[in-house]
A and B are shown apart, each in its own frame.
Chain A
């Protein structure tokens, strides 16, 4: 199982990378950490005629966790973000939890945040976190310069995003979130892609939930905010039965698809369970 041939470029500046990308048209792929792309190359399911490796492009490997939020360069490795997040008190819990669900340490040492997001695997954890917390993707192209796309608009389907063929995702950012957050998922084995994952955020005064955010992964062709479900508990006092109502609303609000590992009915039902458990976790409301 070896990759098909391709032209390989490793530009040393963003400008150079953008020019290459503009010239090479629809058949070039960007290479970041390669932990999703290279398996596809090895299996020859992906056979781009050219690879543009962002490894030498300066400035994409910095992340900054501050009072005004988190800015993550596209080439920041999951493992290094894991470390910075662990040593910061302002980073949201759900981010820390989601990062630990990405593959295994050996994978997280190579995989990059930009690569993970741009690959847009519907079962992937990070996209759900960015959708839930209202993250922003910064895209750059040679001809049209820089633009920002809200995470919710960025993810468009299986492996499909708002990134135009000539654009590079250079940064992803998360605003600060005033409340508590949690990421909870069910996978068949530790480290597997989630069957269903839930990212939940809420500001809790006593047991009143505000600013509620819920996004799922593994329940459709892309991560989505579940606004109807959020409304069920927005401003409400959290209680066991409220959370059960919420779970029902979540199940009603997702459009999962069956695959080898779980049916759509299973994912629909368990989506509600995951959200309920995530909220139990942050609110302390017992089931």
Chain B
């Protein structure tokens, strides 16, 4: 289990950023190793490949937008998948909150990862926490570039509670 928060600022105004965030298929490429296989309303069927050194897993599953509060610019996505080859099961809850700042918009990401199976039982290193942090960091970094059309902006700051 790992909880990671990431916040970053983009120069675009909040409504624009909000709109952009609603286009999930367009965001998928920002998730390293992720691929969208099928869309069904607010449910997205996809695949996520993760690899840390020799350790690799390929999760197939669904992501659903479970909360969308246009007014407060807040939404939560829940995803869960199975790594058929490795017998791992993963689930994640990603929440984002937009707030206007003078420079544009502040994006706060809160991701909560849960893993079951051999990978979760690999005790020694802080592997899972590290993997999740890396995923979220790269996702945030990519979002920042897209949403801010590459304009200079605050690099993501992150905290973790592994």
Contacts and interface: CB of A to CB of B under 8 A. Distances in A.
A122 B125 contact: yes
Which of B55, B123, B126, B131 has the largest number of chain A CB atoms within 10 A? B126
Interface in B39-58: 51-56
B116 to A, nearest CB: 14
B54 A29 contact: yes
Contacts of B55: 40, 45-46, 159
Contacts of A40: 54-55
Given A44-B118, A45-B119, A259-B123, A157 B130 contact: yes
B157 interface: no
Contact of B86 (A47, A119, A257): A47
Interface residues on A, range: 20 to 34
Contacts of A37: 54
Interface string A1-12: 000100000000
A47 B85 contact: yes
B60 to A, nearest CB: 16
Contacts of B162: 257-258
B56 A158 contact: no
Contacts of B68: none
A260 interface: yes
Nearest to A158: B130
Interface in B53-67: 53-56
Contacts of B124: 123, 193, 259-261
Contacts of A259: 123-126
Nearest to A41: B54
Which of B86, B87, B119, B125 has the largest number of chain A CB atoms within 10 A? B125
B54 A48 contact: yes
A46 B125 contact: no
A4 B55 CA distance: 13
A191 to B, nearest CB: 14
B52 A48 contact: no
Contacts of A257: 126, 129-130, 162
A64 interface: no
Interface in B96-138: 118-119, 122-127, 129-131, 134
Nearest to B49: A26
A29 B127 CA distance: 19
Contacts of B85: 4, 47
A249 interface: no
Contacts of A122: 125
A208 B158 CA distance: 40
A27 B125 CA distance: 22
B119 to A, nearest CB: 6
B123 to A, nearest CB: 5
Interface of A: 4, 26-27, 29, 37, 40, 43-48, 119-123, 157-160, 193, 221, 257-261
13 contacts: A27-B56, A47-B86, A123-B125, A157-B134, A158-B53, A158-B130, A159-B54, A160-B52, A257-B126, A257-B130, A259-B123, A259-B126, A260-B124
Interface of B: 51-56, 85-87, 118-119, 122-127, 129-131, 134, 162
